A and B are shown apart, each in its own frame.
Chain A
Amino acid sequence: KNQVEQSPQSLIILEGKNCTLQCNYTVSPFSNLRWYKQDTGRGPVSLTIMTFSENTKSNGRYTATLDADTKQSSLHITASQLSDSASYICVVSYVSGGGADGLTFGKGTHLIIQP
Chain B
Amino acid sequence: GNSVTQMEGPVTLSEEAFLTINCTYTATGYPSLFWYVQYPGEGLQLLLKATKADDKGSNKGFEATYRKETTSFHLEKGSVQVSDSAVYFCALLRNTGNQFYFGTGTSLTVIP
Do A and B pair up? The answer is no
Interface residue ranges, A against B (CB under 8 Å): none
Name B's A-contacting residues (CB within 8 A). Answer: none
